[in-house]
């Protein structure tokens, strides 16, 4: 998104439609930010630009990657072999951690959790949803994955191995969901629309072209 050119000097004020801070941690955010700006550690503009940059990182980037992998076998091979360098082909910068891409099949269904914190492939999926960071998801997924999947409305047959990936260290995982049946000949754009955020975490399957879930 091009920069809108409005000035960011109001970064320490509040726009009228935004709720006033009322809690101590919200005051702490203001205090730290103003001190950092006063001391020249960061500028208000840098903070505002970073906020804006994160708003532009959405799961659509991930959906583009998956749709391309579904339609281009060589790309998928490269993606599975080296996530970081392969997403760079699409202009996505993924640095600092190793991106590992795993593929869901009829025999193996991956789902990702971080039991120790909230590791998430943010350059590809944006900011993690609240549930991904929640204590219930982090606690339960490694022990009762099928109960968790059921809460997401996802039914994986017991003949398929569910493999929970606990993202404990320097690895960030992206799941390639199964390509839905009946999508032969669809454009990459149309396929990307079937790839939801949750299907790339593994708590859901991709959408059916008619809008439903794929049969697992």
Partner 1 sequence: MAGDSKTTTQAVERAITDLGGLKGGPIDRHEHEPTLTERRIDAMMMLMRAKPRAFWGSDENRRTIESLTPEFYEGSGYYERWVTAMRSLMIEKGILDSGDIDAKLAEVRARFPSNAGADGDKS
Partner 2 sequence: MSRFAPGDRVSVAKAFPPGHVRTPTFLRGLTGTVVRHFGAFPNPSLLAYGMSGQPPLNLYQVVFDMDDVWDGDGEYAAGDTVAADIYENWLEAAPQSNRKD
How would you class 97 by CB atoms within 10 Å of its CB: exposed for 0-12, middle for 13-18, buried for 19 or more? middle
How many residues belong to the site for partner 1 (CB under 8 A)?
51
In sequence order, the β-bridge partners of residue 148 are none
**Active site (annotated) includes residue 117:** yes
Pick from 164, 188, 193, 207 the residue near partner 2 by CB under 8 A. 164
Asked if 45 interacts with partner 1 (CB under 8 A), we say no
Residues 6+ apart with CB under 8 A from 45: 8, 11
Residue 44: DSSP 8-state: H
Q: Which stretch binds partner 2 (CB under 8 A): 20-28, 34-42, 166-174, 193-201?
A: 166-174
Pick from 35, 90, 108, 190 the residue near partner 1 by CB under 8 A. 35
CA distance 175 to 101: 6
Selection from 102, 101, 113, 107 nearest residue 145 by Cα: 113
CA triplet 98, 102, 131: central angle to 5 degrees? 80
The sign of the dihedral angle between the CA atoms of 142, 113, 167, 200 is: positive
Residue 197, helix vs strand vs coil: helix
Q: Which stretch binds partner 2 (CB under 8 A): 11-19, 82-90, 156-164, 179-187?
A: 156-164
Pick from 78, 140, 163, 213 the residue near partner 1 by CB under 8 A. 140
Catalytic residue among 117, 134, 136, 187: 117
Asked if 148 interacts with partner 1 (CB under 8 A), we say yes
Q: Which does 171 bind (CB under 5 to 8 A by kind): partner 2, partner 1, none?
A: partner 2
Asked if 116 interacts with partner 2 (CB under 8 A), we say yes
Asked if 23 interacts with partner 1 (CB under 8 A), we say yes
Asked if 135 interacts with partner 2 (CB under 8 A), we say no
The sign of the dihedral angle between the CA atoms of 56, 212, 167, 89 is: negative
Q: Rounded to the nearest whole angstrom, what is the least distance from the CB of residue 116 to partner 2 in the complex?
A: 6
CA distance 6 to 81: 43
Asked if 169 interacts with partner 2 (CB under 8 A), we say yes
Give residue 4's Cα distance to chain centre. Answer: 26
Residues in contact with partner 1 by CB under 8 A are 18-36, 39, 41-42, 46-47, 50-51, 54-55, 113, 115-118, 127, 129-131, 133-140, 142-143, 148, 151-152, 166
Q: Which residues are catalytic?
A: 114, 117-119
Residues in contact with partner 2 by CB under 8 A are 98, 100, 115-116, 142-147, 158, 161-171
């Amino acid at each position: 998104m091009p920069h809108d050119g409005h000035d960011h000097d109001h970064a320490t004020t509040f726009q009228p439609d935004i709720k006033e801070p009322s809690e101590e941690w919200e005051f702490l955010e203001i205090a730290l930010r103003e001190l950092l700006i006063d001391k020249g550690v960061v500028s208000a503009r840098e903070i505002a630009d970073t906020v804006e940059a994160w708003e532009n990182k959405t799961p659509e980037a991930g959906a583009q990657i998956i749709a391309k992998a579904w339609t281009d076998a060589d790309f998928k091979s490269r993606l599975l072999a080296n996530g970081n360098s392969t997403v760079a082909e699409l202009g996505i910068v993924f640095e600092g951690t190793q991106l590992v891409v795993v593929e869901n099949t009829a025999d193996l269904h991956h789902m990702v959790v971080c039991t120790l914190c909230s590791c998430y492939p943010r350059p590809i999926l944006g900011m993690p949803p609240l549930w991904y960071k929640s204590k219930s998801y982090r606690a339960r997924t490694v022990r009762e994955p099928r109960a968790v999947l059921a809460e997401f409305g996802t039914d994986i047959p017991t003949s398929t191995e569910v493999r929970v990936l606990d993202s404990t260290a320097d690895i960030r995982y992206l799941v390639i969901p199964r390509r839905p049946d009946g999508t032969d000949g669809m454009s990459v754009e149309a396929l990307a629309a079937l790839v939801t955020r949750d299907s790339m975490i593994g708590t859901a399957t991709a959408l059916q072209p008619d809008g439903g879930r794929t049969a697992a």
